[in-house]
Chains A and B, each alone.
Chain A
Amino acid sequence: MNLAAAAVNENVAHISNYLIYSAMAVYTLAFLAHVTEWTFGSRSKVAVQSAALVTAAAAKPAVTVKSAGGTTVLERPQVVTRATASDRGIPDGPGAAGEDEQGDMYGRIAISLTVLGWALHVGGVVARAISVERAPWGNMYEFSTTFGATAVTAYLVLLALGKNVRWIGLFITTAVLLDLGMAVSVLYTASDQLVPALHSYWLWIHVSCAIISGALFFLGATATFLFLFRDSYETGLLGGKPNKGRWANAMSRLPAAATLDKFAYRVNAAVFPLWTFTIVAGAIWAEAAWGRYWGWDPKETWSFITFVLYACYLHARATAGWKGRKAAYLALLAFACFLFNYYGVNIFITGKHSYAGV
């Protein structure tokens, strides 16, 4: 491994920077398009949904008929599903654009722009990797840019799979702009080689897992955050509160609280084993690099705290008296710890992960 001889290709490094700036510009446009989508969406009638809510809530447990596409009953019997879950019988909102066609158009423009921004963003990350001839995760700037790209990738993949995630659009463009803004202004580190402590294939394994976990935890946290608002909105509705005002208008367009909660749970539960693996991989690397697999280094401590809090959330969600809002607060707290472990521990606390560079 003759890394010392591997000269940093400055041209490619510059291209990487331009790509990241371009991605930010395009994400900004996507953000504005999403804002427009929400604004136009407010023109659509809330009353329609309000009426739907009342009838749906009054209805018996919902029964769904899943047809396998056949039109004649003779050819294939249908599987009838019956809800037993804790639904309130409130349907999902229509989405940011409501029933407004112009709003929907802006929403589509926003998604197209997000795809373009994402392509530039990924290009920027790849160019950075080429310029340094290693995994582009050696310092906080590189970690942040890759983190943002991964979060947007996850969102776009879910969208492409036909999942109901369009409501994340505005929030993810906001978050990725903040993330990249921090990266280019505060965290920027010029392209260069790694210190010997980072020369290990565990960099690929440990850090990539941390990035993927973080990006997906972010999606989960966004859903949980919105769940809290939508949940109190629904509680208000069922309690007979009038479905009026801007706030109610915006809330009515979000997915149902049950849907948001389910989405958050699925994402968090899916990532939890990966996060566990991230910690274990880090421990294996620590054993090779520092002579012990666990030494309560601040980074290790906060990963542990994050792990325990997500474990709390998963348990709470299956426990009577804790599901719903309490579990949601735990999930948000767990994600806050993840963020603190990244920004807080790297910047304010000196430990063995301090070479990450600010």
Chain B
Amino acid sequence: MSTTDKTDEKELGAAGAQLSTAPEEEEAGIIVPGSFGGLRKPGFAGGAAWTVREVWGWLRWMWRQLTSMRVALILLFLVSLAAIPGSLVPQTSVNAVKAQDFIDAHPTVAPVYEKLGLFHVYSSVWFSAIYILLFVSLAGCIVPRSWQFVGQLRAKPPAAPRNLTRLPAYATWRTAAEPDEVLDGAQSALRRRRFRTARASTAVASEKGFLREAGNLLFHIALFGLLISFAVGQLWKGDGSKLIVEGDGFANTITAYDDFTPGSFYGADDLNAFGFDLDSFNATYATSGPDKGSARTFRANVHYWTGADGKKHKGAIEVNKPLEIAGSKVYLNGHGYAPVVTVKDGSGTVVYSGAVAFLPTDANLTSTGVIKVPDAVDKNGKADQLGFSGLFTPSFKLDSTLGPISVFPALANPALILTAYHGDLGVDSGLPQNVYQLDTKNMKQFKDSKGNIVSKAMQVGDSMTLPNGAGSITFDGIKTFAQFQVTHQPATGWALTSAFSAIIGLAGSLFIQRRRVWVRAVRGDDGVTVVELAGLGRSESAKIADELGTFVDILLVTAPVQAEPPPEEASEASEASAETQPEDEGARA
């Protein structure tokens, strides 16, 4: 098949050459790996020269292999294959909790997976190796092609081949018009249609569709742009989360975050100075229908400022609508409730008062949380720390099997169900503690005189009195909290620009045809001018014939057909009629 193309190209000579900068494909089996050094002369110098030649030869051979289409195809295929495990095994970078759960649940395979890098596939050695090789291969192909393309842009369209009838699309007629007249008309018609033209004495050569190659190169160069932007974005990225209760605020410093994961080159000094206050949080839910209880809108109303203490601006953050402040973006990630409580200790003093965030555990916002009161004393005035743990349900229901749960995410029937502990919270040990968990190792649960655990489902305004005069807790009200993610990611604009360049380049390289048209006008011996038109495209399609047809029509105006001499063998050609549409060729870099 390709041999036919090759012979055709030979027959067409320079006219058919370099219609694309795509690399020539060597036929399989021609490459014979072997010694590059030739004769090895005696002596050290000879040996050294031989070794250099040999090494250089092998390097050249490897480079040519790497930049060949066959290897590029294999690497492309490997990239897609290597991406698969990352979608099946939980990734630490995507969801660290899920990855840890997997590790805990599969103690036998987890260490093997860990060794293979299956929990961080996209930063693993083998995945990186494949895509780096692919990009090296791509560079090895794109760079020479770009130079070649620049050369082609500066060159004239190749001269008309001697025998135009051999070309895929051809037309001819005889006319009384002067050859120069015909050629002038042809050249201006071709120019009007944005062909690059070159005039010779008896023919006009023209070429169009350089944007195909330009698009192809743009697409592949844009891939490098994407890769670099992505790398920069990962390395200089800062990403943290913060839970804020209504009325509270946040200032962008590392210590203010609940957790913070910076990129390799991003540190505490790089954080932009800004902050914001959460004024209120609105959520609405479907109150009927099959999706009853699913969220309909979330909106956090904030006031934000930039600089150390700049002017405050009003703003809103919604899902899908992050707020951009000073180069960072603030996303709304979640929300929940923070019951407001007042705790009195054994001496009757208020030892804690405020809102405590309870973390949602289900779609109806059944939430769990703890309250730690380190500064409490018992009725004798002896230090005795208090701790509470329990549930908050915005719409309370006592389920016969599940116990207390929430049946709707909005505050229809809020209840706070707590049980109390006293003893040592463990907060004084200096070790960091999870604020959402109570370490009950050194604590005792309060029990009433009958030995039952003290616990109470409180409505707003209710109190729970602890036994033995140890104090009380009052459920004063409810605030809402919102969970925010603050992200600083550079080079996003570059990534977007690269992505769109890639799409434009793709469209150019797949939809534009590169083709050449020649017009020849020669005065014959009988004094009549013979006009010949021919078209050739690398990506041949029926359109080339159509386009040639339009040129025929245009030229006929200045060079009308003159009566033919007695017909030759034209009828033979018109008999064979199996229509074959030449095919398109794909893009290649």
Contact = CB atoms under 8 A, between A and B. Distances in A.
| Chains A and B come from one and the same complex | yes
Interface of A: 1, 3-4, 8, 56, 59-60, 62-66, 68, 73-87, 89, 91, 189-190, 192-193, 195-197, 199-200, 202, 258, 261-262, 265-266, 269-270, 272-273, 276-277, 280, 283-285, 287-298, 301-302, 304-305, 308-309, 311-312, 314-323, 330, 337, 345, 349, 351
B298 interface: yes
A270 B510 contact: yes
Contact of B76 (A68, A277, A291, A308): A308
Contact of A79 (B86, B291, B545, B588): B545
A317 B170 CA distance: 27
A320 B499 contact: no
B584 A87 contact: no
A266 B171 CA distance: 27
Contacts of A305: 80, 83-84
B587 A190 contact: no
Interface stretch (B104-112, B197-205, B301-309, B489-497): B489-497
Interface string B488-519: 01001001100110110011001100000000
B169 A80 contact: yes
B552 interface: yes
Given A83-B582, A262-B583, 4 more contacts: A85-B582, A197-B319, A305-B83, A322-B69
Given A62-B578, A79-B548, A269-B586, A296 B94 contact: yes
Contact of B549 (A62, A79, A311): A79
A298 B331 CA distance: 22
Name the residue in A77, A265, A277, A302 with the highest tally of chain B Cβ atoms < 10 Å from its Cβ.
A77
Contact of A4 (B286, B552, B570): B286
Contact of A321 (B25, B77, B548): B25
A165 to B, nearest CB: 15
Contact of B321 (A82, A195, A288, A309): A288
A288 B545 contact: no
B349 interface: no
Nearest to B298: A196
A280 B540 contact: no
B577 interface: yes
A265 to B, nearest CB: 6
B289 A8 contact: yes
Nearest to A74: B561
A266 B586 CA distance: 9
Contacts of B321: 288
Contacts of B584: 262, 265-266, 269
B296 interface: yes
Nearest to B585: A318
Interface stretch (B2-10, B187-195, B426-434, B467-475): B2-10
Interface string B550-589: 0011001000010110000010011011111111111110
Report the 4 A-B pairs with minimum CB-CB distance, sorted nearest first: A318-B586, A83-B580, A86-B1, A77-B173
B5 A84 contact: yes
Nearest to A334: B80
Given A3-B296, A294-B230, A309-B80, A64 B331 contact: no
A7 B586 CA distance: 50
Nearest to B22: A318
A60 B94 CA distance: 61
Nearest to B484: A291
B28 interface: yes
A124 B9 CA distance: 55
A315 B290 contact: no
A315 B587 contact: yes
Nearest to A357: B291
Contact of B510 (A273, A296, A316, A321): A273
A312 B545 contact: no
Nearest to B496: A284
Q: What size tier do the contact residues of chain B reach?
A: 35 or more
A280 B290 CA distance: 33
Interface string B59-101: 0000000000110110011011001101110010110000000
B401 interface: no
Contacts of B286: 4, 192-193
B586 A265 contact: yes
A277 B503 contact: yes
A195 B291 CA distance: 9
B168 interface: yes
A82 B492 contact: no
Contact of A289 (B5, B166, B319): B319
B319 A56 contact: no
Given A266-B584, A318-B587, A319-B70, A290 B170 contact: no
B318 interface: yes
10 contacts: A62-B578, A68-B549, A84-B540, A265-B583, A276-B503, A312-B80, A314-B510, A318-B585, A320-B2, A345-B87
Given A62-B580, A291-B487, A314 B586 contact: yes
A84 B168 contact: yes
Given A301-B87, A311-B76, A192 B510 contact: no
A17 B451 CA distance: 60
A115 B121 CA distance: 48
Contact of A80 (B83, B496, B573): B573
B413 interface: no
Given A266-B584, A280-B500, A318-B585, A291 B322 contact: yes
A317 B25 CA distance: 13
Interface string B111-141: 0000000000110000000000000000000
B549 A64 contact: no
Interface in B409-452: none
B290 A190 contact: yes
B269 interface: no
Name the residue in A190, A301, A302 with the highest tally of chain B Cβ atoms < 10 Å from its Cβ.
A301
Name the residue in A84, A199, A287 with the highest tally of chain B Cβ atoms < 10 Å from its Cβ.
A84
A329 to B, nearest CB: 11
Nearest to B331: A291
Contacts of A322: 69-70, 73
A313 to B, nearest CB: 8
A277 B500 CA distance: 8
A138 to B, nearest CB: 10
Given A312-B73, A321-B28, A349 B87 contact: yes
A110 B4 CA distance: 42
A86 B578 CA distance: 14
A77 B561 CA distance: 8
B284 interface: yes
A82 B533 CA distance: 14
Contacts of A277: 503
B168 to A, nearest CB: 5
A79 B576 contact: no
B351 interface: no
B586 A192 contact: no
Given A74-B561, A192-B289, A349-B87, A62 B579 contact: yes
A89 B294 CA distance: 62
B320 interface: yes
Given A63-B573, A76-B552, A80-B171, A297 B94 contact: yes
Contacts of B462: none
A199 B320 contact: yes
Interface in B473-488: 485, 487
A312 B74 CA distance: 9
B171 A79 contact: yes
Contacts of B496: 280, 284, 293
B295 interface: yes
Contact of B166 (A82, A266, A294): A82
A301 B583 contact: no
Contacts of A85: 540, 580-583
B177 to A, nearest CB: 14
B329 interface: yes
Contacts of A84: 4-5, 8, 168, 540, 582
A319 B319 contact: no
Name the residue in B1, B168, B320 with the highest tally of chain A Cβ atoms < 10 Å from its Cβ.
B320
